Chains A and B, each alone.
Chain A
Amino acid sequence: MRQPLSTQRGPRHFWHELLATGLVVLIAACGPGRDELQAGSPALLDVLGGEATGFAQALEPREFLFPRDHGPHPDYRNEWWYVTGNLAAADGREFGYQLTFFRTSLAAEALPRSSAWATRQAYMAHFALGDLAAGMFRAADRFSRSALELAGARARPFRVWIDDWSMESVEPADEAPSGSAQAVLPLRVRAGAEEVQIDLILGAAKPVVLHGKRGLSRKGSRPGSASYYYSFTRIDTSGTVTVGGIRTAVEGHSWLDREWSTSALEPQQIGWDWFALQLDDGSELMLYVMRRADGGADGASSGTLVAPDGSSEYLPTEAFSVQVLERWVSPHSGARYPARWRIEVPSARILLTVQPRLADQEIELAFRYWEGSVEVAGVHGDTRVQGLGFVELTGY
């Protein structure tokens, strides 16, 4: 569950956020209020209204099929390909990066149209790079319709892109054995914004992890409030990071999240905190906390603990606790974000302290959230562990 959310409180569907942000360009200009729209065009509300009429929903666990499921699922309203990673150069310089492609269906049904521009799929991408020691952090976004090859996604050979930002299989996976999720690898990941660029190869990875109940990840109490969610939690990464025209060779690990759904935040939910932590004992921990307006955690919060061998364990809400130790006030927005946590998973004897590697990794694009590189220290079972990871904080 990694959809960034605005500060807006109340009954908001996060796809609205995506749409509102993805289409920020014309929103201010096209503006009858909602009432006006309802009066004028009831059919429209059927297509776009709260109950997601016409879209497929994540109701039951599904059988994941690869490479098909690496590609888009246009009948679901939202989908994303979300890569984060921590990289280091030979000279010790450290970087955190994020590249995400969001897909949104604008309409449940594809209508026959004669224009090649006609589409019901919109794409948005976010790219962020932090040069941690230098204290530099840059973020940029892109928007496009999925038409005329301007943007899009496909399973075979795998590619998702907007303009020249892309994530694609380096060796087309046509001959890969069916059912092998890893056949999509290696991936080449490219993006850039003004003076920063990345060009990375995501190589060998631990097996795919299905979150929640066989990949059905619950986000709320309603039947449709769930998504299909799988990850590559640790992918060996190498390539180059360019800052201000200087290209640096880097190595590290990435994390790829894939998620699609037609769900929305429920009325009581205002945002979430999401953790993707890679420990140096070879295990990974994913946790998300759905935050409620009253300050508490929603019952739909959950997590996944991935063992070094790739086996995973579902962590329900009651299996873990996340305690905020410190807070940081953004000088840009004034928002008060958590900035240090104690995470406890008693059943796995995990006790970790997590803290940002750079305080200011706030992203202010069409909407605002904090997403950044973190470092981890603590114990897992009987051993002391360290690690790196990424945290996403929305709704602050």
Chain B
Amino acid sequence: MSSFPSPLLRRASARYLRQHPWQFGLSILGVALGVAVAVAVNLATGSARRAFELSSAAVTGATTHQVVAGSGGVPEDLYRRLRSEMGLRAAAPVVEGYVGVQGHPGLTLRLLGVDPFAERDVRPYFAGTGGAARRDQSENASGFELASLIAVPGTVVASASTAADLDLVPGGELELVVAGRIRTVELIGRLRSVSRLQEAGLRDVLLADISTAQEILSMEGRLTRIDLVLPGQASEAIVAELQARLPDGVMLVSAAARTDSTIQMTRAFRLNLTAMSLLAMLCGMFLIYNTMTFSVVQRRGLIGALRALGVTRGEIFWTVLLEAAWVGTLGTLAGVAGGVLLGSGLVRLVTRTINDLYFVVAVRDLALAPTSLAAGVVLGMGGTLLAALAPALEATRTTPRAAMMRSALEGRHRRLVPRLAASGTAVVVVGAAGLAAPEAGLGITFAALFLLLLGFTLLSPAATVGLSWLLGWPLRAALGVIGKIAARGVTAHLSRTTVAVAALMIAVSVIIGVGVMVASFRTTLERWLEHTLAADLYVSPVSVRGDVGDLALDEELRRRLLENPGIDRIQTLRRVQVETTAGPVRLLAVEIEAGAESAYRLQSGGATAWPQFRAGAVLVSEPFAHRWRVVPGSVIDLPTDSGWRSFAVAGVYYSYASDQGAVLLSRQTYEQHWQDRGTSGVSIYTRPGADRDEVAAHVRRLFAPRQQVVVIANAELREQSLRVFDRTFLITSVLRMLVMVVAFVGVLSALMAMQLERVRELGILRAQGLTPGQLWGVVTAQTGLLGLISGLLALPVGLVLAWVMIHVINKRSFGWSLQMDVPPEILWQSVVVAVIAALLAGLYPCARMARTPPAAALRQE
């Protein structure tokens, strides 16, 4: 440890830190923000995931396998056969569904119907432990409300916290909204003796007897699934044998795999959020790099003197690194704390998006996963030290004599520019190659994207030199000598300006990239909606989040729709979910009249697709094709009511409805393979001249006595879809803003430091007769120029970033084809933001300069 800084050195270092509170304060803030964003995203996505896992664990209990079936659910008699004939005793029937609650808009509850007699082996915590229940019989005196749970219709129990959420005490009534119908239930008790984890997992769960659940959900005769506990040593063979004994259309799936595949649905979403949060950290690292480089540059004289006095390179190196470590430690601590705060806000956004797009999960609290916090620490400290490495090495390279000479440093930096540009080009090429690799996973794709950004960063000094030369002309023309001083300052202080420019450029390009990506997505979606929503009115039962289909319109009433003279024709849609061993698959059965196919635009499949579709083949949506890797000509297997059947894929159609994708088949094909005859929704085409509002009112009146339906006009539905879109991307926008804040802090710090360091130089200018006003002009022109350069450089970088996100990341994450659409306002706004950030950064140094008498400024050294 001989190279470790001596106490003297450490004191000098501490003093320097104290003398530059702004500089280091901003660095700490930068690290803190970067870490906070990363930690917050990690905590938020982790909490959602954990909430889902908890609820899965609480609801599946000891279940190892599940018997599931297609759209209609499992016939209930199969349960008796499993028990009595196949001797599967650890089996429990489940009827479940999602329900809304009157008076609690937006709340979705999971109604879980079980047979309490069958729960002993499957969800034993409902029973406490067997032994405890046996010996502690005084606790069991309240068994009677179980009797009413079973024997009295419309009774439910819930966890204490769920009851509290609903402001319910036992005896209270709750109006559930199920498929547009109101069902009143009575809460007759609260679940107790469940562990805290189970309590959390049973949040938003109503527990009912299976008979009650069937009646409330209109699922008489059917089960959602049968949960099985197969012995640990249950080999594939046993499972296969059991599967062979199940009737057609019924499947045995692993419970863990099923939970997994659900979690996997959100993988791309989570990865994208994480990548964005790392961008914030990247900006934070620029800040550290900048601050440390600057501190080294600023102390070159001191370092030179120390080296002359015999201080070793190692000591210098460690001194710089130790300073960075201080910044890192404080920043990381603040960042982790801030991340927890920020996370509590983000978790709501994340949860809402997951609920909108994937599955229903109730996340009330942020789960403070130690791993997330530790990752934040590693990121903060690692990032800081990594960013400080180059400046620390730079400091050691300062020879005692050369260090005294400022020009030597700038000279070396200028010579470095071409080399940086060359390596930047190389890095860009590597990154581009990574992006171009057709089979690259998402992780590699993101790594390649970061390489690309790094490459652009390395290229930015060269671009800065070029641009400042170019922009110097008009500046000089407009401001005369002040403009000239300002423009020359940019290239004369390359060591400081380039880092600031790079940081601002990256930040602004992220803003441009994400902005263009979201705008492109929205435009694509808008066009698609325009194209797809061809009917005038859409009718469907009132549904709640989590409904996976099965909701059906009242058939008799649906048939009576055509009695309305204003209705020209209707088209029905059936949306159901079938279970496959690899997870659920959504089916859309549609009636498409000849000539009306244009509502579905084909990405591939060509002219033969529609004839094949009519003949029994299916079309798949783009995300489906991506997820399951199918192309026109592929064959997919689906579990029909008469067992597994193969379907030829005739084509791939554009759809932005869900990132899980769907299989489109004709109503005729659907009815051929499935017994279900329900209708999930109806599209109404009104007669020319008919009053749509009147038709809509009539439809509502028609259904009102029996079913709450949503009747929505074309334009309204389009708006609603876009609202969901905007809500989904709200978190993206929030992250984009956070990246901007980090970058802004970075720029502020870099430019401010630079200007403060120029105190002497500016003092000379003042001494030579520059008025405070003219000094303002110099500094403002210079920072403005830097901002402009950054903004201009960010334009191509941002567009490249947008292109990559649209055509590579989105495609690889979700399989969507998006049309790139560049709204000009995003571009000019970004440049303006860059300039404003830069100008703001110049304010404080200017004010300080203006206040300082020239003599005092000159005396500083």
Contacts and interface: CB of A to CB of B under 8 A. Distances in A.
Contacts of B149: 26, 30
Interface stretch (A31-39, A84-92, A255-263): A31-39
A377 interface: no
A47 B214 CA distance: 23
Interface in A27-75: 27-34, 36-37, 39-41, 44, 47-48
A117 B210 contact: yes
Interface string B198-226: 00000000010111101100001100000
A19 B120 contact: no
Interface stretch (A198-206, A269-277, A360-368): A360-368
Contacts of A117: 76, 93, 115, 209-211, 214
B126 interface: yes
Contacts of A246: none
Interface stretch (B182-190, B331-339, B438-446, B633-641): B182-190
A103 to B, nearest CB: 13
Nearest to A333: B135
A26 B83 CA distance: 20
Contact of A31 (B132, B153, B190): B190
B142 A33 contact: yes
A120 B151 contact: yes
Nearest to B168: A40
A216 interface: no
A20 B140 contact: yes
B132 A116 contact: no
Contacts of A29: 125-128, 157, 191-194, 207
A148 B214 contact: no
B76 to A, nearest CB: 6
A221 B651 CA distance: 82
Contacts of B188: 37, 40-41, 44
A325 B146 CA distance: 42
Nearest to A6: B137
The B contact surface, by secondary structure, is helix
A164 B143 contact: no
Contacts, number: 206
Contact of A25 (B116, B145, B190, B221): B116
B310 to A, nearest CB: 76
A359 interface: no
A99 interface: no
A281 interface: no
Contacts of B119: 25-26
B188 to A, nearest CB: 6
A6 B136 CA distance: 10
Interface string A114-129: 1111111010000000
A145 B117 contact: yes
B153 A113 contact: yes
Interface in B145-198: 145-153, 157, 169-172, 186, 188-194
Interface residues of B, number: 62
A111 interface: yes
B141 interface: yes
A44 B152 contact: yes
Among A30, A34, A147, A164, max chain B CB count under 10 A is at A30
Contacts of B186: 41
B80 A149 contact: yes
B146 A30 contact: yes
A388 interface: no
A285 to B, nearest CB: 32
A364 B138 contact: no
A106 interface: yes
Contacts of A118: 153, 211, 215
B653 interface: no
A143 interface: yes
Given A40-B169, A107-B148, A26 B116 contact: yes
Nearest to B85: A164
The A contact surface, by secondary structure, is loop
Interface in B48-101: 76-77, 79-80, 83-84, 87, 89, 93
Interface string B109-126: 000000111111000011
Contact of A20 (B132, B137, B170): B137
Nearest to A151: B117
A144 B140 contact: no
A323 interface: no
B139 interface: yes
B149 to A, nearest CB: 7
Interface in B509-547: none
A307 interface: no
A163 B151 CA distance: 21
A24 interface: yes
B140 A24 contact: yes
B144 A145 contact: no
Contacts of B171: 39-41
A32 B189 contact: yes
A23 interface: yes
B134 interface: yes
B211 A23 contact: no
Contacts of B138: 8
Given A32-B189, A40-B170, A41-B171, A27 B140 contact: yes
B133 interface: yes
Contacts of B79: 148, 150
Contacts of A164: 84, 87
B137 A31 contact: no
Contacts of A149: 80, 84
A27 B169 contact: no
Interface in A7-27: 7-8, 12, 16-17, 19-21, 23-27
Contact of B127 (A27, A44, A113): A27
28 contacts: A8-B138, A19-B144, A20-B141, A23-B143, A24-B140, A25-B116, A25-B119, A26-B146, A29-B157, A30-B189, A36-B169, A41-B148, A41-B171, A44-B145, A44-B188, A48-B147, A106-B151, A107-B151, A113-B211, A115-B211, A115-B214, A116-B221, A122-B147, A122-B150, A145-B117, A147-B211, A150-B79, A368-B134
Given A20-B140, A44-B148, A111-B152, 13 more contacts: A6-B137, A8-B138, A24-B120, A25-B127, A28-B132, A29-B193, A31-B192, A48-B147, A114-B215, A116-B221, A117-B93, A163-B89, A367-B137
Nearest first, the 8 A-B pairs at minimum CB distance are A40-B171, A28-B128, A20-B143, A106-B151, A40-B170, A117-B211, A118-B211, A107-B151
